[in-house]
């Protein structure tokens, strides 16, 4: 047992020896690095110049009171207005009335007397003329004849009075269905009457034919 302890103690001596040698070397290296770094830092840097004057830069310039013109808010008094004098009056010249009359100045006007017109010198001549139709209406197609498809014709005889109306109307038809429609149409006709020797006379025996045809 005494030999084991001696052997174990002899094995620890080199470790302690290395620690004692390494600590001073590490301290020396650290101090050397510190000095080298300090020399590098302060070798190129120049000490600041304390004598440099501070520069004061004004960004916004302030205007002095002399630059500002004070305007008065009081309105200026208007100048006195002078009324112009009235325009001078101009008297219109009056024309003198002529002493002599107009007739003596221009001469006496001739007197004109209208000639008398004798009505017997005029004669109104009206030429003879035949009757002239003014209003002529076509007869209406009878409803019963149209429903049956019946066609035909009518010959109507009538007179014209001096006042232009029709009278003495008669009809000859192919069917009695067309007679009433034809007579009613002629009853509403109007004429300029026939004139003979300047007077309207009766015109007798006029005839007209009405065809009754169905249109498709």
DSSP letters spanning 55-86: P---SSPPPPTTTSPPPP-SPPPPPPPPPPPP
Q: What's residue 17's pLDDT? A: 75
Sheet holding 166-173, edge to edge: 166-173, 152-160, 203-212
58: Cα separation from own chain's centroid: 64
State residue 10's pLDDT score. 47
Q: Residue 2 has what pLDDT? A: 37
**94: which residues sit within 8 A by CB, 6+ positions away?**
none
Residue 193 region by backbone torsions, left for phi larger than 0, else alpha for psi between -120 and 50, else beta: beta
CATH class of 132-212: alpha beta
pLDDT of residue 203: 93
The three-state secondary structure class of 166 is: strand
Q: What is the pLDDT of residue 33?
A: 87
pLDDT in tens, the chain (216 residues): 334 333 444 445 567 777 778 788 888 888 888 888 887 876 654 555 555 555 555 655 555 555 545 555 566 666 777 777 777 777 766 666 666 665 565 556 667 766 665 666 556 555 788 889 999 999 999 999 999 999 999 999 999 999 999 999 999 999 999 999 999 999 999 999 999 988 999 999 999 999 999 886
Q: Which residues pair with 135 in a beta bridge?
A: 190
pLDDT of residue 124: 56
The torsion angles phi and psi of 4, rounded to 5 degrees, stand at: -70, -45
Which pLDDT belongs to residue 7?
40
Q: Is the separation of the CB atoms in 210 and 139 below 8 Å?
A: yes
User: According to the model, what pLDDT value does residue 160 have?
Assistant: 95
pLDDT in the model for residue 31: 85
Measured in degrees and rounded to the nearest 5, phi and psi for residue 57 equal -105, 120
Q: Where are the domains of the chain?
A: 132-212
What is the structure's pLDDT at 84? 77
The span from the first CA to the last CA of the chain, in angstroms, equals 159
Nearest to 203 by CA among 214, 188, 191: 191
């Amino acid at each position: 047992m005494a030999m084991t302890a001696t052997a174990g103690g002899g094995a620890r001596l080199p470790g302690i020896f290395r620690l004692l040698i390494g600590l001073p070397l590490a301290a020396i290296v650290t101090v050397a690095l510190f000095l080298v770094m300090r020399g590098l830092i302060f070798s190129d840097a120049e000490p600041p110049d304390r004598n440099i004057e501070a520069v004061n830069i004004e960004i916004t310039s302030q205007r002095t009171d002399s630059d500002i013109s004070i305007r008065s808010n009081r309105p200026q008094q208007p100048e006195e207005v002078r009324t112009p004098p009235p325009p001078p009056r101009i008297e219109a010249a009056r024309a003198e009335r002529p002493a002599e009359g107009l007739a003596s100045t221009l001469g006496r006007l001739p007197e004109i007397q209208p000639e008398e017109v004798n009505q017997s010198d005029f004669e109104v001549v009206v030429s003879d003329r035949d009757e002239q139709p003014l209003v002529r209406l076509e007869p209406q197609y009878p409803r019963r004849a149209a429903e049956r498809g019946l066609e035909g014709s009518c010959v109507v005889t009538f007179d014209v009075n001096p006042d232009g109306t029709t009278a003495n109307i008669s009809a000859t038809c192919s069917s009695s269905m067309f007679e009433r429609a034809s007579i009613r149409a002629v009853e509403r006709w109007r004429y300029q009457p026939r004139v003979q020797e300047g007077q309207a006379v009766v015109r007798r025996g006029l005839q007209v034919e009405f065809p009754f045809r169905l249109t498709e």
